[in-house]
Amino acid sequence: MGVTAIKQIINQTSGTASVFNHENTGTNKENIPAGAAVACDMWIPWCTSQADFDYNHYLRVVAGSRTTWIWQNKDNSGDRVRVSPEGRFQNNQTPIDGDATVNGNRILYIRASGLLEMERIR
């Protein structure tokens, strides 16, 4: 298990976006304007079961009418950051687009299409 931290959020949508850390609400970033980039220090929670999910071990991204959930966990392909549009835990959920590996600092892009993508900060 490693620590993956979002250090910047870039909202590429035409409206506001918000990222809620349900494990640590003090790091929430709300009402990010369209086209804006904001600095943050938000760790992506580890979620390895439905019980973890029930205890709020995830981030929730809201952009317009779309809501997406993000967490880290391990499956046969290794430790990955996962993304889900369903709002429920799934062990083998799809890895987030871009750099889905864990450990290190990332930029989170909220794309105009509603998809999320992460890029490692080098």
Nearest to 60 by CA among 4, 116, 3: 116
Q: Domain tally for the chain? A: 1
Following DSSP, what letter does each residue of 54-84 receive, concatenated? HTT-SEEEEETTEEEEEEEEEETTEEEEEEE
CA 92/CA 111 separation, integer angstroms: 23
- With a cut of 90, say whether residue 2 has pLDDT above it: no
What is the reported pLDDT for 114?
77
Q: How confident is the model at residue 24 (pLDDT cuts 50, 70, 90)?
A: very high
pLDDT tens sequence across 34-64:
999 999 999 999 999 999 999 999 999 999 9
For the ranges 18-32, 41-55, 88-102, 103-117, the lowest mean pLDDT is seen at 88-102
Structural domain containing residue 67: 4-120
Residue 42: CB partners within 8 Å, gap ≥ 6?
5, 6, 19, 21, 24, 27, 29, 59
Percentage with pLDDT > 90 across the chain: 80
Mean pLDDT value of segment 78-92 = 87
Mean pLDDT for the chain? 93
CA 38/CA 7 separation, integer angstroms: 9
What is the reported pLDDT for 1?
66
Count of CB atoms situated within 10 Å of the CB of 57? 20
What is the reported pLDDT for 103?
92
